[in-house]
Amino acid sequence: MEDLQDFLKEKHYKKIKFTVLKTQHLLIQGKINGVKGNFILDTGASNSCVGFESVARFLLNAQFSETKAAGAGAVGMETQLAKNNDVQLGRWKNKFHLIVFDMSHVNEALIQYKTKAVDGIIGADVLLKGKAIIDYCNHYLYLQ
């Protein structure tokens, strides 16, 4: 049988390495608007997000949003919306709207496990658009 990565390469998928943190979160490096960052790869997050503290760093034009965020035990969190940003993971790149919200509860949990804080979350919006395939065994994300 043909090797998975060879098969996916023929289908024009891009291969992106991720690491598994002590917390069992998947950590992936990427760029937003050309600026490098560290992100949790989260299949359960509906949208990709960054923290309020990252707005200037990632050159985001964030606007007020009436949408409330929920996740990881927090509900009703204020959000902003940053439209049409370049999100790049490895050699894969596309435009996305990003949710901006207070990620302190996420990073506090990571720090309790002596893991570095992250800049944001890559969610299902990216995974769906990229027709994602996650190779958990070999720690690769494939996006088309």
**Model confidence at 5, in pLDDT bands (50, 70, 90)?**
confident
pLDDT of residue 1 exceeding 50, the answer is no
Phi, psi of 122 (to 5 degrees): -95, 120
Higher pLDDT, 108 or 73: 108
**Model confidence at 131, in pLDDT bands (50, 70, 90)?**
very high
The pTM score is 0.89
Please enumerate in sequence order all residues whose Cβ is within 8 A of that of 135, keeping only pairs 6 or more positions apart, or say none: 4, 5, 141, 142
Three-class secondary structure assignment of the chain: CCCHHHHHHHCCCEEEEEEECCCCCEEEEEEECCEEEEEEECCCCCCCEEEHHHCCCCCCCEEEEEEEEEECCEEEEEEEEEEEEEEEECCEEEEEEEEEECCHHHHHHHHHCCCCCCCEEECHHHHHHCCCEEECCCCEEEEC
pLDDT of residue 73 exceeding 80, the answer is no
pLDDT tens-digit profile of 10-69?
999 999 999 999 999 999 999 999 999 999 999 999 999 999 999 999 999 998 776 655
Question: 107 lies in which domain range?
Answer: 4-143
Residues 122 and 134: beta-carbon distance below 8 Å: no
Number of domains making up the chain: 1
Mean per-residue pLDDT, 64-93: 78
pLDDT tens-digit profile of 88-127?
999 999 999 999 999 888 899 899 999 999 999 999 999 9
**CATH number (domain holding residue 124):** 2.40.70.10
**Rg (alpha carbons) of the chain, rounded to whole number:** 15
